[in-house]
């Protein structure tokens, strides 16, 4: 420590450690604890007036802007219509009459179903019956949706339902195949 630091430390030790207030503060503290001061609230009519002024001002600004915008000379919009080339061909996208979706999913399901028949033999009779019952429900739903699509081929909701039903059928068949393969591959049984 330097000599200046020593003088500063001696001066700090000589300072009073307590300062007594000029008057007794406890009565005021006790009163403030018993009766806390309430914050002054803005009256409801003042709040309503503020909302009214805000809405009125924003409406006035919007009205003025709309008048200004209408006063401007609008430029005409040029519409360009281009003819469709005659060499383009359009394909039908509906799933109704031709059942194009059914043929695509039919091919995919055929590949999976050949494996499914083998895999079903590895399941217990109860599990096999559950799988066959679930497949029957899904296939009945596919038949019902396809029938409805024949009457309303442009119905997008029915088309989405049909795609979902086909996916459910494939997913169930794939799950059964992978489930039995995992069981057969286990060597800890």
pLDDT of 86 reads 56
Taking residue 134's Cβ as centre, other Cβ atoms within 10 Å add up to 14
| More confidently predicted of 176 and 53 | 53
The answer on pLDDT for 141 being more than 50 is yes
Q: For residues 42 and 85, which has the higher predicted lDDT (pLDDT)?
A: 42
Residue 185: pLDDT band by 50, 70, 90 thresholds?
Answer: very low
44-83 tens-digit pLDDT = 888 889 999 999 999 999 988 888 766 665 666 566 666 6
C-alpha 146/C-alpha 158 separation (Å) is 8
> Rounded to whole angstroms, how far apart are CA atoms 6 and 140?
99
How far is Cα 89 from Cα 82, in angstroms, rounded to an integer?
17
Q: How far apart are CA 142 and CA 174, in angstroms?
A: 18
pTM listed for this prediction: 0.42
Kindly tell me the burial class for residue 94, based on how many C-beta atoms sit within 10 Å of its own C-beta (0-12, 13-18, 19 or more): middle
| pLDDT tens digits, one per residue of 74-120 | 666 566 666 655 555 544 444 544 445 666 666 666 667 777 777 87
Lowest pLDDT segment from 59-63, 89-93, 131-135, 137-141:
89-93
pLDDT tens by residue, 148-175: 888 888 888 888 888 888 888 888 888 8
Q: Name the residue ranges covered by the structural domains of the chain.
A: 100-183
Copy the structure tokens of residue 133: 């019952």
Report the pLDDT value the prediction gives residue 106, as an integer from 0 to 100.
Answer: 67
Percent helix, strand and coil across the chain, each to the nearest 5: 65, 0, 35
């Amino acid at each position: 420590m330097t000599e200046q630091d020593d003088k500063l430390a001696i001066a700090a030790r000589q300072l009073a450690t307590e300062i007594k207030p000029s008057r007794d503060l406890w009565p005021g503290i006790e009163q403030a604890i018993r009766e806390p001061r309430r914050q002054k609230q803005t009256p409801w009519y003042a709040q309503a007036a503020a909302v009214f002024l805000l809405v009125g001002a924003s409406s006035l600004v919007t009205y003025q802007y709309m008048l200004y915008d209408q006063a401007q000379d609008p430029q005409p919009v040029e519409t360009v219509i281009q003819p469709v080339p005659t060499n383009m061909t359009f394909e039908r996208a509906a799933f109704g009459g031709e059942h194009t979706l059914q043929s695509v999913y039919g091919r995919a399901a055929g590949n999976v179903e050949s494996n499914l028949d083998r895999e079903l033999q590895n399941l217990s009779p109860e599990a096999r019956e559950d799988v066959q019952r679930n497949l029957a429900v899904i296939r009945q739903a596919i038949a019902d949706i396809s029938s409805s699509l024949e009457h309303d081929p442009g119905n997008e909701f029915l088309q989405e339902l049909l795609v979902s039903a086909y996916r459910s059928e494939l997913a169930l068949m794939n799950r059964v195949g992978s489930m039995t393969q995992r069981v057969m591959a286990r060597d800890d049984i």
